[in-house]
């Protein structure tokens, strides 16, 4: 049943006829697939559909009115900021209302109190540019410079710059949330006034419910406004150079530079990260997947495969790199001092500084996530964990081992253990594992690998993000708490008793497994018989 | 569990070509769009801030995802798969687009997909399915058929612009193709161009019987009609023996250099003559000393990159090959990414002029925001053309420029109309006029 006409007219009266449409062509454009994050995989094919209508509010009040109508009239809805996050941010049920938030792109910079205030339609790169103009900076999350800052911060929100800036839930300040019944929730100092400078409280800090570890994709409400903490940056301009596709920020090396070191072993890699964090130097310390170097060198996907195809398990196993970003936050002298400290750390570890371009192609202003699809066409960061530095490196290796079983269709990567780095000056280690495949191959093994990683994480006791609603909740929840699933479902029932906000999240992956015959052999956990069909 | 096949990564290679007559040629590209919206945002490295964030006029004005390339590709894919059909909205989405190429260079930075060709193919499909083009486009096609120009003006007046002080030669190595706009509406551009040739000591000739280049007809998807015009015009130029064809119109330049070869499945280098825009000609003459720009022009000036001279102007080479595992193609495809467009020459010319204070807008070169006039947009969707011009003029005002210069009559006219409507204190000039003003005694 399509959205009834009388309700459609109510939507028109809220936003104006121009900003709501149930035209099938307009709705088709909001299809999740066939390309993109997880697109082409079973989850996208089985779980997503086009919306019954699309609406584009401009204000929080309009969002409230829309949601209240949906709640009253049993219209399922899905909040949507940029649509980049693939199937999980698209409708999962027929005739849902997609609430496209791109018009809510307000931006305020409070220079005095070091924060910016944004709407869900505002993406990262303009925020970073405005911040840098005023001596500040933020993390552009690994999701990319094109990601909605709000969506990214309530989902993931980290990058190599998190070595110094830290984790996203500490950067979310005053926030405004339209709850599933349309009521407005204000957190932090917004709860008592109009100044969003403070993030916690009142009472229990609701940011934990809002984002958990990696977010709930709008199933507990819609964030319509958020203040984001910024931090002081160095003052010199980073000048954009080059012409597309080869553009970069030229770095004034007296204040900011990347240095790539090769080191003799994985142990030296980890030790270097620990000591750099201990010395409290650097803006980023990271080891990226080795095929990223091939991406950077290649002029096209065919050349990537020429370059990458020359690698072997031995060449990958014996190549260790540590990439360090030095920033002279306070002065050139501080920069020079930090560089000396860095060299003092690296030399005894056998670190050799390689020639490194005085430019930044990715991370400071342009987390280049979109380029990840270039080589294969199919890509997912299947897991990311925040552990200790030593534990996080083991995480990548265990993934590389499991991946062998699913290669092909996964891309040959010769055992590369993925991406790991320091967070919060070495207090935490971060590990992210990325997988790639040709979407024209049989992708069922990719779906299976995804769930198999959860089982591996449970077995290895990784405190991992994706042991949550991004996996079957009844597989991961009992191991993650042990009543994480019950707690989350009670919160969902309390906030959204009619399950109108992005159903059937957070049970979507459970439903996917039930609906997909090729997943049934993997199901060795208990789940209730009354899952949403 | 996953099974280990006997042959790793085997995938049959499929033949394909960059043929805009068949929308299925671009199913691969449609199916690999990831909604990063690099087609809509300014290159993030160059992102100027919270103002002027986008480079796609259509997505900026209409806002629904359907109007961005990511939406159009999904709609086109849905059509190929039979999930959606043409309706009035689909037609508007396909044609309310300037085909300015901003999306194409954006995507080439990230994914190397053929967005511009897909959008062109979608328009060819619209025409072949009997739903396109728009009524205003059909009127232009009718005008061209009757009078060989897009305005329906008398064909026998086409050369009325020729200045007495700089007449064409009967025979010359250089042929000036004025185009419809400079022949009828912007005669000052054609006249300035002729005087520049004279000042450079370079005789020029005209086509014995110049007809429309067919820009609008091609751009709206009337492939067969455009192809016939390409065949006729190329043959006429070949008959003259010209070695170089110069245009002062960016749209015409793109037609001759890129789209005629595309229509005729040939390489640009096989045309038999070189195609230059006036700024390329002048740049060379200034550099070799044949032309000096000495008369001061005291103004704070900014240059607007016309899409067809900049990111859309790389030469065409036909391609047929095979696509295999991971989408890799063989033989190697040299993709057109807009990196080799005509960006530097107009700026270098303008900087040669005494008194000119050349300043850049926040969005320049491959990130430039289209004026909104070209490729059939202004005729069928005047509100989009007006919006785009006004949006671009906001940048002009932001940097405090007094003079806005472009290298295409379509840009000039659209900006001029917006300036007149708004009462903006901005002088709009074509670069030919600026050059001419600096060489005339």
pLDDT digits (tens, 9 = 90+) for A366-406: 988 888 899 999 999 888 888 888 888 888 888 899 999 99
Instruction: For residue B159, give the nearest of B171, B144, B148 by alpha carbon.
Output: B148
Residue A201 has pLDDT above 90, yes or no: no
What pLDDT is stored for residue A466 in this prediction? 67
* Encoded tokens for A155: 């989902």
Residues A295-307 as b or e (16 or more Cβ within 10 Å = b): beebebbbebbee
CA–CA dist B411, B430 (Å, integer): 9
How many residues appear in chain B? 441
Contact A31 B74 (CB under 8 A): yes
Do the strands B299-303 and B403-406 form a parallel or antiparallel pair, or are they unpaired? parallel
What pLDDT is stored for residue A36 in this prediction? 86
Contact B41 A125 (CB under 8 A): yes
Helix B187-199 to helix B278-287 angle (10° resolution) is 20
**What are φ and ψ of residue A85, in 5° steps?**
-80, 20
Residue B165 lies in a domain: yes
Which of chain A's residues have a Cβ under 8 Å away from the Cβ of B11? Answer: 438, 440-441
> A447: how many CB neighbours lie within 10 A of its CB?
21
Which of chain B's residues have a Cβ under 8 Å away from the Cβ of A246? Answer: 339
Cα of B422 vs its chain's centroid, Å: 26
Q: How many independent structural domains does chain B possess?
A: 1
Smallest CA–CA distance, residue A524 to chain B, in Å, is 13
Contact B65 A29 (CB under 8 A): yes
Residue A464 has pLDDT above 90, yes or no: no
Smallest CA–CA distance, residue A302 to chain B, in Å, is 6
Can you tell me the ipTM of this complex? 0.96
Contact A377 B32 (CB under 8 A): yes
* Encoded tokens for B307: 């899409």
How many residues appear in chain A? 533
**What are φ and ψ of residue A424, in 5° steps?**
50, 55
Helix B382-398 to helix B409-422 angle (10° resolution) is 80
pLDDT tens digits along A477-519: 898 778 889 999 999 999 999 999 999 999 999 999 999 999 9
Q: Which residue of A has its CA nearest to B69?
A: A29
A contact test, residue of B1, B2, B37, B45 with most A CBs within 10 A: B45
User: What are the E-state strand segments in B127-268?
Assistant: 174-177, 204-205, 244-247
HEC profile of A273-321: HHHHHHCCCCCEEEECCCHHHHHHHCCCHHHHHHHHCCCCHHHHHCCCE
Q: Which residue of A has its CA nearest to B108?
A: A245
Contact B89 A240 (CB under 8 A): no
Residue A434 has pLDDT above 50, yes or no: yes
Q: How far apart are the first and last CA of chain A?
A: 17
A contact test, residue of B36, B43, B332 with most A CBs within 10 A: B36
What pLDDT is stored for residue B3 in this prediction? 42
β-strand partners of B429: B405
Closest CB to A302: pick one of B30, B328, B339.
Answer: B328
Closest CB to B37: pick one of A146, A242, A448.
Answer: A146
Residue A100 has pLDDT above 50, yes or no: yes
CA–CA dist B70, A29 (Å, integer): 7
Q: Which domains does chain A have, with CATH numbers?
A: 5-100 (3.30.43.10), 107-232 (3.30.465.10), 253-460 (3.40.462.40), 473-522 (no CATH)
- Tally DSSP H helices, then E strands, for chain A: 17, 21
Range 13-42 of B in CB contact (< 8 A) with A: 30-38, 41
Residue B144 lies in a domain: yes
Which of chain A's residues have a Cβ under 8 Å away from the Cβ of B327? Answer: 301, 376-377, 438
User: What are the E-state strand segments in B178-292?
Assistant: 204-205, 244-247, 274-277
Q: What percent of chain A has pLDDT over 70?
A: 98
Provide the H-helix boundaries in B342-381. 344-352, 377-380
Contact B48 A129 (CB under 8 A): yes
Provide the H-helix boundaries in A353-476. 389-404, 444-460, 473-476
Instruction: Burial-class residue A127 by CB neighbours within 10 Å (0-12, 13-18, 19+).
Output: buried
CA–CA dist B382, B316 (Å, integer): 30
CA–CA dist A298, B40 (Å, integer): 24
What pLDDT is stored for residue A1 in this prediction? 55
Contact A36 B111 (CB under 8 A): no
What pLDDT is stored for residue B440 in this prediction? 67
Q: Is residue B106 a contact partner of residue B38, using CB atoms and an 8 Å limit?
A: yes
Q: Which residue of A has its CA nearest to B61?
A: A103
Closest CB to B2: pick one of A130, A370, A406.
Answer: A406
Smallest CA–CA distance, residue B281 to chain A, in Å, is 23
Residue B8 lies in a domain: no
Tell me, yes or no, if B75 comes closer than 8 A to chain A by beta carbon: yes
Integer angstrom CA distances of residue A75 from A5, A24, A61 = 12, 18, 18
* Encoded tokens for A442: 């049989």
Q: In terms of C-beta distances under 8 Å and separation of at least 24 residues, what long-range contacts does B166-172 make, across chains too?
A: B166/B191, B166/B194, B166/B195, B166/B197, B166/B198, B167/B194, B168/B194, B168/B203, B168/B204, B168/B205, B168/B206, B169/B203, B169/B204, B169/B205, B170/B205, B171/B205, B171/B240, B171/B241, B172/B202, B172/B203, B172/B204, B172/B205, B172/B242
Integer angstrom CA distances of residue B1 from A53, A145, A411, A458, A471 = 39, 36, 17, 18, 17
Residue B7 lies in a domain: no
Smallest CA–CA distance, residue A464 to chain B, in Å, is 23
Tell me, yes or no, if B7 comes closer than 8 A to chain A by beta carbon: no
Q: Is residue B252 a contact partner of residue B211, using CB atoms and an 8 Å limit?
A: no
What pLDDT is stored for residue A370 in this prediction? 85
Q: Which residue of B has its CA nearest to A24?
A: B84
What pLDDT is stored for residue B2 in this prediction? 39
Q: Is residue A533 a contact partner of residue A511, using CB atoms and an 8 Å limit?
A: yes
CA–CA dist B381, B370 (Å, integer): 14
* Encoded tokens for B364: 């320049």
Provide the domain limits for residue B329. 14-439
Q: Count Cα neighbours of B121 within 13 Å in the Cβ-side half-sphere.
A: 25
Which of chain A's residues have a Cβ under 8 Å away from the Cβ of B338? Answer: 244
Q: Which residue of B has its CA nearest to A363?
A: B45
Contact A83 B35 (CB under 8 A): yes
Which of chain A's residues have a Cβ under 8 Å away from the Cβ of B31? Answer: 34-35, 40, 439
* Encoded tokens for B325: 């595992």
Smallest CA–CA distance, residue A48 to chain B, in Å, is 14
pLDDT (mean) for A47-74? 97
Which of chain B's residues have a Cβ under 8 Å away from the Cβ of A21? Answer: 64, 89
Residue B267 lies in a domain: yes
Smallest CA–CA distance, residue A262 to chain B, in Å, is 28
Range 311-330 of B in CB contact (< 8 A) with A: 325-330
Smallest CA–CA distance, residue A445 to chain B, in Å, is 5
Contact B78 A31 (CB under 8 A): yes
State the DSSP H helix or E strand holding residue A68, giving kind and residue range, or none if neither: helix A60-73
**Chains A, B: CB pairs < 8 Å:** 203
Smallest CA–CA distance, residue B61 to chain A, in Å, is 11
Cα of B169 vs its chain's centroid, Å: 29
**What are φ and ψ of residue A13, in 5° steps?**
-70, -25
- pLDDT by residue for chain B (441 residues), tens only, comes to 334 444 445 677 889 999 999 999 999 999 999 999 999 999 999 999 999 999 999 999 999 999 999 999 999 999 999 999 999 999 999 999 999 999 999 999 989 999 999 999 999 999 999 999 999 999 999 999 999 999 999 999 999 999 999 999 999 999 999 999 999 999 999 999 999 999 999 999 999 999 999 999 999 999 999 999 999 999 999 999 999 999 999 999 999 999 999 999 999 999 999 999 999 999 999 999 999 999 999 999 999 999 999 999 999 999 999 999 999 999 999 999 999 999 999 999 999 999 999 999 999 999 999 999 999 999 999 999 999 999 999 999 999 999 999 999 999 999 999 999 999 999 999 999 999 999 965
CA–CA dist B301, B93 (Å, integer): 35
What pLDDT is stored for residue B1 in this prediction? 37
Contact A123 B53 (CB under 8 A): yes
Tell me, yes or no, if B101 comes closer than 8 A to chain A by beta carbon: no
Cα of B47 vs its chain's centroid, Å: 23
B contact test, residue of A42, A128, A244 with most B CBs within 10 A: A244
pLDDT (mean) for A216-224? 90
Contact B45 A247 (CB under 8 A): yes
pLDDT tens digits along B282-321: 999 999 999 999 999 999 999 999 999 999 999 999 999 9
Contact A122 B367 (CB under 8 A): no
pLDDT tens digits along A258-296: 999 999 999 999 999 999 999 999 999 999 888 888 998
Tell me, yes or no, if B362 comes closer than 8 A to chain A by beta carbon: no
């Amino acid at each position: 049943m399509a959205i009834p006409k009388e309700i459609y007219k109510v939507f028109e009266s809220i936003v104006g006829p121009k900003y709501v449409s149930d035209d099938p062509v307009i709705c088709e454009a909001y299809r999740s697939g066939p390309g993109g994050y997880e697109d082409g995989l079973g989850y996208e094919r089985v779980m997503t559909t086009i919306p019954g209508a699309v609406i584009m509010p401009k204000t929080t009040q309009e969002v409230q009115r829309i949601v209240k109508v949906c709640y009253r009239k049993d219209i399922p809805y899905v909040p949507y900021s940029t649509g980049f996050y693939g199937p999980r941010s698209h409708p999962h049920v027929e005739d849902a209302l997609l609430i496209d938030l791109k018009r809510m792109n307000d931006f305020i910079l409070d220079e005095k109190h070091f924060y910016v205030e944004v709407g869900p339609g505002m993406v990262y790169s303009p925020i970073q540019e405005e911040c840098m103009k005023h001596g500040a900076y933020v993390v552009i999350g690994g999701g990319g410079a094109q990601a909605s800052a709000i969506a990214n911060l309530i989902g993931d929100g980290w990058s190599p710059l998190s070595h110094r800036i830290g984790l996203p839930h500490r950067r979310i300040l005053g926030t405004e949330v339209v709850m599933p019944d349309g009521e407005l929730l204000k957190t932090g100092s917004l709860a008592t006034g109009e100044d969003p400078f403070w993030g916690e409280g009142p009472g229990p800090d609701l940011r934990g419910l809002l984002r958990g570890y990696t977010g709930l994709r709008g199933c507990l409400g819609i964030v319509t406004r958020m203040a984001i903490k910024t931090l002081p940056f160095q003052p010199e301009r980073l000048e954009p150079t080059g012409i597309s596709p080869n553009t970069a920020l030229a770095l004034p090396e007296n204040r900011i530079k990347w240095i790539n070191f090769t080191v003799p072993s994985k142990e030296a890699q980890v030790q270097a990260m620990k000591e750099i964090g201990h010395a409290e130097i650097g803006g980023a310390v990271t080891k990226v997947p080795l095929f990223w170097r091939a991406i950077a060198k290649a002029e096209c996907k065919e050349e990537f495969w020429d370059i990458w195809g020359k690698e072997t398990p031995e060449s990958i196993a014996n190549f260790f790199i540590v990439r360090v970003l030095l920033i002279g936050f306070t002065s050139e002298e501080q920069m020079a001092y930090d560089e000396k400290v860095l060299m003092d750390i690296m030399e005894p570890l056998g670190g050799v500084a390689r020639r490194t371009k005085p430019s930044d192609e990715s991370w400071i202003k342009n987390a280049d996530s979109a380029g990840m699809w270039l080589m294969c066409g199919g890509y997912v960061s299947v897991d990311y964990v925040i552990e200790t530095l030593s534990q996080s490196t083991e995480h990548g290796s265990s993934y590389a081992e499991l991946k062998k079983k699913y290669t092909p269709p996964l891309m040959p990567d010769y055992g590369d253990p993925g991406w790991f780095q320091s967070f919060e000056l070495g207090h935490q280690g971060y590990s992210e594992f990325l997988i790639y495949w040709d979407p024209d191959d049989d992708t069922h093994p990719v779906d299976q690998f995804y769930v198999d990683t959860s089982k591996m994480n449970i077995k290895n006791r990784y405190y991992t993000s994706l042991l949550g609603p991004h996996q079957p909740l009844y597989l991961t929840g009992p191991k993650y708490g042990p009543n994480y699933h019950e707690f989350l479902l009670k919160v969902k029932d309390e906030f959204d008793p009619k399950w109108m906000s992005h159903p059937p999240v957070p049970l979507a992956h459970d439903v996917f497994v039930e609906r997909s015959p090729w997943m049934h052999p993997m199901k060795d956990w208990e789940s209730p018989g009354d899952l949403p069909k | 569990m996953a099974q280990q096949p006997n042959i790793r990564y085997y995938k049959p290679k499929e033949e394909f070509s960059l043929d805009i007559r068949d929308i299925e040629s671009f199913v691969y590209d449609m199916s690999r769009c990831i909604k990063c919206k690099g087609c809509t945002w300014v290159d993030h490295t160059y992102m100027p801030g919270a103002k002027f964030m986008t480079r796609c006029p259509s997505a900026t004005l209409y806002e629904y995802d359907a109007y961005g390339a990511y939406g159009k590709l999904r709609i086109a894919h849905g059509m190929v798969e039979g999930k959606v059909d043409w309706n009035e909205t689909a037609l508007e989405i396909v044609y309310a687009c300037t085909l300015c190429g901003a999306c194409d260079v954006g995507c080439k930075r990230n994914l190397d997909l053929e967005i511009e060709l897909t959008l062109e193919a979608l328009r060819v499909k619209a025409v072949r399915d009997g739903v396109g083009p728009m009524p205003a486009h059909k009127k232009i096609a009718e005008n061209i058929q009757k009078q060989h120009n897009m305005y329906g003006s008398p064909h026998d007046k086409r050369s009325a612009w020729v200045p007495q002080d700089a007449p064409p030669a009967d025979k010359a190595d250089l042929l000036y193709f004025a185009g419809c706009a400079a022949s009828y509406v912007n005669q000052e551009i054609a006249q300035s161009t002729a005087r520049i040739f004279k000042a450079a000591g370079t005789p020029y000739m005209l086509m014995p019987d110049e007809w429309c280049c067919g820009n609008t007809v091609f751009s709206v998807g009337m492939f067969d009609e455009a192809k016939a015009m390409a065949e006729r015009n190329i043959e006429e130029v070949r008959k003259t023996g010209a070695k170089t064809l110069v245009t002062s119109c960016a749209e015409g330049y793109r037609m001759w250099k890129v789209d005629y070869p595309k229509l005729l499945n040939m390489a640009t280098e096989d045309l038999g003559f070189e195609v230059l825009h006036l700024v390329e000609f002048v740049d060379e003459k200034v550099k070799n000393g044949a032309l000096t720009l000495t008369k001061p022009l005291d103004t704070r000036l900014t240059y607007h990159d016309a899409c067809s001279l900049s990111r859309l102007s790389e030469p065409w080479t036909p391609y047929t090959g095979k696509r295999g595992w991971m989408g890799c193609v063989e033989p190697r495809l040299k993709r057109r990414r807009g990196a080799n467009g005509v960006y530097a020459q107009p700026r270098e010319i303008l900087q040669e002029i005494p008194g000119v204070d050349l300043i850049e807008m926040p969005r320049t070169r491959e990130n430039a925001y289209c004026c909104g006039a070209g490729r059939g947009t202004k005729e069928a969707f005047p509100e989009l053309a007006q919006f785009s011009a006004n949006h671009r003029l906001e940048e002009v005002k932001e940097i405090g420029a007094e003079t806005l210069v472009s290298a295409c009559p379509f840009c000039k006219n659209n900006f001029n109309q917006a300036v007149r409507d708004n009462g903006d204190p901005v002088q709009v000039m074509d670069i030919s006029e600026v050059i001419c003003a600096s060489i005339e005694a």
